[in-house]
């Protein structure tokens, strides 16, 4: 078995709002990346107010975590007003890094907020070390986010030869096209993908023609929707390659998704570090099973080991086909004396059903709903309504923010 001195990579999680950012950090993310209400892609994600940014920076400091802020629009001239003030504000809050795609924005960050690291966004589709050296020489970037089109060999060599710490995607949604260079959404909906409005038109259905002859059938239309990335099996290789940061995609994703995915990667990375080498097949199978408990589309392992992109497109309309767990609720409080928890519900569940607790400690403790009470103290047979407060008995101490999930 090959072993090598491994450096601990940063586990970088997405967060669409304050609650998700705190969840990501509680569940083991070393850093979160968030978007403000200006200058950021994913404008439909519930982006952070100035107060939110201050709060998450303070929260992250308590946990020794970092906050990265996406300033990654491909701006038109009209979008640049207020940029310097915004960058100064981020620096004052204690933000660690800004993720940028525009050279002008990168230069402004260096000029107006020199304590911020500047990370070159994947929107620039960096696929070779010459490009990295160019960006370092001319823009003094502090990190490069590699294009998702990179193979493992590309990652190894760019990381070794680029002269700048690298960041690689390990999980989540993938653009089918080179990032930043797609105008499908613009053409179909007039929504600018490079300014946060991507309508994901690549995932729509298309008729395919050769000349005037249609090649598609109505029940089997052409599409370009990518499977999601899932790189548990490449974590060791990426660590061995010296990648500085492992990035999870998904600022639009739910709190449950963030908790589940971050938790699995946190445990897997830590176990690889502890062992100093790749994990055996049984352990990896266990982690893959754990990952299936969160809501993912069909998955593939990206270009890392599949440069021909075989089986990388989803041709059926159903998503989450492999998901085998439902999110039932989040713990609001715990009564040590009564050994009960009040949870805020999300999906229906009934007395007698089996569930498990997902906690930041990484344990997945099973239990049965032996009884449940509503917020008036009345016993219930079934909890049907989302966002209700329900009291349940729990087998061990839980904390606010722990989550309850159920096997399908």
Partner 1 sequence: MKKIFVRCADTESIRLYRESGADGVILPLSGYAFSPCDCFRKEDLDACIQTIRDMGMEVYLQADKLFSQNEMPVAEALLREPGVLSADGIFFSDPGLFAAAEEQGIAGRMIYDPQTLMTNGKDMQWWLSCGLKAVVVSPLLSAEEITHLGIPADQYMILGHGYQIMSVSRRPLLSLYTEGKDTEILKNRNDIRIREESREGFMPVYEDENYTIVYMDAVLTSVPEVCALEQDGDVQVIINAAFLPADCVSDAVRTYRTAESENARECEQALIEAYPGIAFTKGYYENKTVK
Q: What is the dihedral of CA 102, 107, 112, 116, to 10 degrees?
A: 80
Residue 341, phi then psi, degrees to nearest 5: -130, 145
Residue among 37 and 54 whose Cβ is closer to partner 1: 37
Exactly one of 54, 133, 275, 292 binds partner 1 (CB under 8 A); that residue is 133
The number of residues that bind partner 1 (CB under 8 A) is 75
* 176 lines the binding site for partner 1 (CB under 8 A): yes
Name the minimum Å distance from CB 242 to partner 1.
Answer: 15
Site string for partner 1, 286-305 (x = CB under 8 A): -----------------x--
Would you say 246 and 146 are in contact if contact means Cβ atoms under 8 Å apart? Answer: no
* 224 lines the binding site for partner 1 (CB under 8 A): yes
Pairing of strands 97-100, 117-120: parallel
Exactly one of 19, 199, 309, 380 binds partner 1 (CB under 8 A); that residue is 309
Q: Which of 326, 315, 327, 318 has the alpha carbon at shortest distance from 297? A: 318
User: What distance, in Å, lies between the first and last C-alpha atoms of the chain?
Assistant: 37
Site string for partner 1, 83-102 (x = CB under 8 A): ------------------xx
Exactly one of 5, 210, 318, 337 binds partner 1 (CB under 8 A); that residue is 210
* 111 lines the binding site for partner 1 (CB under 8 A): no
Residue among 46 and 177 whose Cβ is closer to partner 1: 177
Exactly one of 53, 71, 74, 261 binds partner 1 (CB under 8 A); that residue is 74
> Judging by beta carbons within 10 Å of its beta carbon (0-12, 13-18, 19+), is residue 141 exposed, middle or buried?
buried
Pairing of strands 97-100, 354-358: unpaired
* 157 lines the binding site for partner 1 (CB under 8 A): yes
Q: Which of 2, 13, 3 has the alpha carbon at shortest distance from 265? A: 13
> Judging by beta carbons within 10 Å of its beta carbon (0-12, 13-18, 19+), is residue 289 exposed, middle or buried?
exposed
Residue among 6 and 309 whose Cβ is closer to partner 1: 309
* 190 lines the binding site for partner 1 (CB under 8 A): yes
Name the minimum Å distance from CB 167 to partner 1.
Answer: 16
Residue corresponding to tokens 């409080």: 333
Rounded CA separation 82/371 (Å): 55
Exactly one of 55, 89, 110, 192 binds partner 1 (CB under 8 A); that residue is 192
Exactly one of 67, 150, 259, 279 binds partner 1 (CB under 8 A); that residue is 150
* 347 lines the binding site for partner 1 (CB under 8 A): no
* 320 lines the binding site for partner 1 (CB under 8 A): no
Rounded CA separation 43/39 (Å): 9
Exactly one of 42, 195, 203, 325 binds partner 1 (CB under 8 A); that residue is 195
């Amino acid at each position: 078995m090959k072993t090598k001195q491994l450096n601990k990579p940063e586990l970088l999680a997405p967060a669409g709002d304050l609650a998700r950012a705190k969840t990501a950090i509680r569940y083991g993310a070393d850093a979160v990346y968030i978007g403000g209400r200006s200058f950021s892609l994913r404008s439909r994600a519930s982006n952070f107010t100035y107060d939110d940014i201050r709060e998450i920076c303070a929260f992250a400091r308590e946990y020794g975590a970092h906050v990265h802020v996406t300033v990654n629009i491909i701006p038109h001239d009209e979008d640049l007003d207020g940029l310097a003030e915004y960058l100064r504000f981020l620096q004052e809050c204690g933000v660690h890094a800004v993720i940028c795609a525009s050279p002008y924005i990168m230069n402004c960050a260096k000029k107006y907020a020199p304590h911020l690291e500047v990370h070159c966004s994947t929107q620039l589709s960096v696929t070779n070390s010459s490009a990295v050296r160019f960006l370092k020489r001319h823009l003094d970037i502090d990190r490069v986010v590699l294009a998702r089109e990179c193979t493992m060999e590309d990652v190894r060599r760019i990381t070794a030869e680029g002269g700048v710490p690298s960041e690689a995607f390990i999980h989540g949604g993938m653009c089918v096209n080179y990032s930043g260079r797609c105008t499908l959404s613009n053409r179909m909906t007039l929504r600018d993908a490079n300014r946060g409005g991507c309508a994901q038109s690549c995932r729509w259905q298309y008729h395919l023609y050769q000349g005037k002859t249609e090649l598609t059938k109505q029940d089997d239309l052409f599409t370009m929707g990518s499977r999601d990335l899932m790189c548990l099996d490449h974590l060791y290789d990426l660590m061995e390659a010296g990648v500085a940061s492992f990035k999870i995609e998904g600022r639009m994703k739910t709190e449950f998704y963030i908790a589940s995915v971050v938790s699995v990667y946190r445990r897997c990375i830590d176990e690889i570090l502890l062992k100093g080498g790749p994990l055996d097949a049984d352990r990896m199978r266990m982690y893959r099973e754990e990952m299936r408990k969160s809501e993912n589309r069909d998955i593939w392992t990206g270009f890392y080991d599949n440069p021909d992109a075989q089986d990388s497109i989803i041709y059926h309309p159903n998503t989450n086909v492999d998901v085998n767990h439902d999110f039932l609720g989040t713990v609001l409080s715990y009564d040590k004396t009564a050994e009960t928890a009040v949870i805020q519900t999300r999906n229906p569940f009934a007395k007698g059903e089996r569930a498990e607790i997902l906690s930041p400690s990484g344990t997945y403790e099973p239990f049965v709903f032996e009884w449940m009470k509503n917020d008036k103290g009345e016993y219930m047979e079934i909890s049907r309504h989302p966002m209700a407060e329900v009291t349940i008995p729990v087998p061990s101490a839980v904390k606010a923010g722990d989550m309850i999930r159920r096997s399908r």
